[in-house]
Structure 1
Amino acid sequence: MIDTLAVVETPEGIALQLRSAGALPRACAWALDLMLRFALMFVASIVLGMLGSSGIGLFLLVLFAVSWLYPVLFEVLRNGQTPGKRVMKLRVVNANGTPVTWLASIVRNLLRVVDVLPLCYGFGLVASLCDAQGRRIGDLVARTLVVYVESPLRAAAMPATPAVAPPAGLLPAERAALVEFAERSARLTPERQQELADLLAGLTHARGAVAVQRLHGMATACVGRA
């Protein structure tokens, strides 16, 4: 499965590019989590075995927690990452890019019993290979995505736009705002850029894409570029 890019627009107009993970990295994360679960249950069986018959009930509680609560608690409380996903630099998010919710995590993990059928995640693998974003059945129903954790953003680069002299009376804070707008433009949709630029029509004497270009040009002038 080739990893794909899911583009999600937030209510603020910021376009998030989420790189969804394919079947192989997800399988590796699952295998790591499975080994950790077995290790936890092995340790629990040794410790609780010392309690005799009274430890059987406690072991069943541990078995339930490790089997069902382990993925949900980690996904919701640890930024969408189980230990296996953290090693593989993956995380679970809602389909709109927001942190995964309790309900979504519970649903996707309950439906794992369907994905695992008929053998070795057969249904889940077929669904993942057929879906453009690599989602298994649990993800499709819960409306979640497993995506790569991106590296922290580097300092944003300003658009290469010819300098446009800004009005002489601009305050330092206003010049800084122009530069910030230009630096953030790469993460804003064109529609959102134009919407913000239209608010400054009195400064640019233009609207739409032309206003955006003029604001970029003023920002270029503010940082001293030719």
Structure 2
Amino acid sequence: MSDTEQGRREAATAARTQAPMALLDTVREVHTPEGVALQLPAAGPVPRAVAWLIDLGIRGALLLAAAIVLGLLGRVGSGVYMVTLFVIFWGYPVLFEALAGGRTPGKRALSLRVVSADGAPIGWMASFVRNLMRTVDMLPMGYGAGLVACLADPWSRRLGDMVAGTLVIHAPRDRTLPTALELQPQAPAVPLQAHEQIAVIAFAERAGTLTPGRQQELADVVAPVTGARGEVGVLRLLGIANWLLGRRA
């Protein structure tokens, strides 16, 4: 077995290990323009259905409250209620997905997120299209078409996701890069191979959970890349991770 093939198998194994286990979940790998391989753990129909039920309960509660208040206004209140019904039914998912990082309250509770197929944040048009397509996914009843599409698609996408070019993924809320975000992006002094880029980004993801001593110990291992050791080496390594993620000054 060649080193290249062995590396690919190890990367695939690591991706499966890191991805949350859920029914019919899998990992989609996409590559950024900088050549960084991103692992997108796609969410299966079960967690998506639970998130949808949570959102349905919230929307139902909002409509009930609106009905009680607007019911006191007679015919005028009935007209306003119909407008409110439309806004909550159609606007609720679009507003949350476009303004809250692809997360409705239900998706946030299940640590799910809607993103573009390439891993980029979802935009207004994509969110509108995927939610408009729910009218097709619901056919003939109980999201029958959407469920069949999820089961047939390798990344559990319903028809709305396929048309809009979106993907629902597992995105734990604690996976952030607060330290790296505050640093100036810095290009690596030497070209990095794909597995080396993944290792640098993984270090940045874990940096906040490591002690300063452990950070410096790991950064010293790649001192030839950063050209520094100790605390300076840690800062430069985080800057390189920032650059690999596509952020620029």
* Superposed pair shares fold, TM > 0.5: yes
C-alpha deviation, 1:139, in angstroms: 0.2
69, 72, 78: which one aligns with 1:47: 69
Q: Which aligned segments of 4 or more residues in structure 1 are displaced greater than 6 angstroms?
A: 159-164, 170-173
Q: Answer yes or no: is 1:102 the counterpart of 2:124.
A: yes
- What is the rounded CA distance, in whole Å, between the counterparts of 2:140 and 2:41 in structure 1? 29
C-alpha RMSD of matched pairs (Å)? 3.1
The one-letter code matched in structure 2 to 1:122 is: G
Query: How far 1:134 moved relative to its partner?
Result: 0.5
Q: Percent identity?
A: 49
Aligned length: 183
- Superposed CA deviations along residues 145-204 of structure 1, whole A, max 9, x for unmatched, are 00011332212985996987x9xxx6779x7389618984xx969xxxxxxxxxxxxxxx
1:110-140 alpha-carbon deviations (Å, 9 max, x no partner): 0001001111000000000011100000000
How much does 1:98 deviate? 0.6
- Partner residue of 1:194? none
Q: Distance in 2 between matches of 1:21 and 1:121?
A: 17
Alignment match, 1:124: 146
Match of 1:205 in 2: none
Counterpart residue type for residue 133 of structure 1: W
Aligned pair partner of 1:87 in 88, 99, 109? 109
Q: Name the structure where helix makes up a greater proportion of residues.
A: 2
Q: Among residues 31, 34, 50, which one is paired with 1:12 in the alignment?
A: 34
Q: What 5-or-longer segments of structure 2 have no aligned partner?
A: 1-22, 176-204
- Report if the CA contact (8 A) 2:219-2:237 is conserved: no
Counterpart for residue 233 of structure 2: 176
| Bigger Rg, which one | 1
Equivalent residue number for residue 60 of structure 2 = 38
Q: How far apart in 1 are the matches of 2:239 and 2:58?
A: 46
Residue aligned with 2:58, SS: helix
Q: Which runs of 5+ in 1 are unaligned?
A: 190-226
**Structure 1 residue 8, shift from structure 2 partner:** 1.5
Q: Is the CA contact 1:159–1:183 (under 8 Å) kept in the aligned structure 2?
A: no
Separation in 2 of the partners of 1:113 and 1:172?
57
